[in-house]
Amino acid sequence: MSEEHERRQLLWQAIESLPEPHRIPLLLREIEGLSYREIAQALDLEEGTVKSRLARARLLLRKLLLQKGNLPTGSPSNQLGRKGGMSK
């Protein structure tokens, strides 16, 4: 298994362990590429709530990856890749 593949697996495991209210907006933003407004409409939330959940999701994700000693370099957006850039 390549190091890149292993890193991606660890990232997906961390994402899947996020609480649903944080995981869903993160996936919609980072994988599907939806705007804050589109996410708010899809989830029937205020735009500010979407932004705060995304911020919290990113903090939780960072914490989980640091705990495992596997924080990828670059931003989570770069690691996930928008519009299907990363597959399980």
pLDDT of residue 86: 47
Q: Report yes or no on whether pTM surpasses 0.85.
A: no
pLDDT band of 67, cuts 50, 70, 90: confident
- Range list of H helices, 1-88: 3-16, 20-30, 36-43, 47-67, 76-80
Q: What is the mean pLDDT of the chain?
A: 85
